[in-house]
Amino acid sequence: MTDIKMLALKYGGYTSLDKAYLDQLLAGKTEQEQLALITPPPSVVNAYFTELYQKKGPQAATDYFSEVSHELNLYNAEPSFIFENKPFIRLNLSGKSFGFCYESEGLGRIFSENEEEISDDLLFEIAQIFPHQLVFEEPGKIYMKNAGDEEVVSVESFTVLTDLESLADGRKRLKGYSQEDLLQEAVAFSGKRYFRSENRTAMLYID
């Protein structure tokens, strides 16, 4: 059984002085109702995420939000700005409003407030914000997941500005400093594309 009071103390902003109050607050409620009561508001989740991002980096920020989403059941397969029933992280992408939540464990979802075209430039922009993630598109939806460990087994100069790497798991990875060049070279490959950007280097994974 989930220890709701422990979660309230760890994530909800409550302290040990609030234990008696929590007992009264949570009494007679279902577990789902209790989780909703102790979940911090979106403004608090966003503020802590931003502070971690700025002070400790993108990995620490997404680790925090992933953990909170798991512990407080913030997973959301149908996120919405209009019906915000669970906190999500707000993002500004090219001056437009987007949100970030976890759809399931380890699977991030990026969604827009208004209907927006999913372009390669947008996917690379998200990848620049989260350099440890692989960003990819499913029909009409944007997702991202941890890049994880990789083993490069061979490297060749595909063009003057682009390297082609073969990974131990069978994937190909194009690397270069120009997103446009990378996208042009990727036309020669078939397979699902995953976008990544780290240290000013653009990467396209072909699976």
pLDDT by residue (tens digit) across 190-203?
999 999 999 999 99
Is residue 77 one of the residues assigned to a domain? yes
Are residues 71 and 16 located together in one domain of the fold?
Answer: no
pTM given for the model: 0.91
Is residue 14 one of the residues assigned to a domain? yes
Is residue 60 one of the residues assigned to a domain? yes
Is residue 105 one of the residues assigned to a domain? yes
Number of structural domains found in the chain? 3
pLDDT band at 2 (very low <50, low <70, confident <90, very high): low
Are residues 104 and 121 located together in one domain of the fold?
Answer: yes
Is residue 144 one of the residues assigned to a domain? no
Whether 175 and 168 have beta carbons less than 8 Å apart is answered as: no
Is residue 141 one of the residues assigned to a domain? no
pLDDT band at 62 (very low <50, low <70, confident <90, very high): very high
Domain that holds residue 98: 44-128
Q: How many Cα atoms within 13 Å fall on the side-chain side of residue 54?
A: 6
- Percent of the chain past pLDDT 70, that is, above it, reads 99
pLDDT by residue (tens digit) across 11-23?
888 888 888 998 9
Structural domain ending residue among the three candidates 62, 96, 128: 128
pLDDT by residue (tens digit) across 28-48?
999 889 998 999 999 999 999
Closest CA to 45 of 101, 122, 97: 101
Residue 160's pLDDT is 82
The whole-number average pLDDT for the span 154-173 is 91
Contacts of 58 (CB under 8 A, 6+ apart): 129, 130, 131, 132, 133
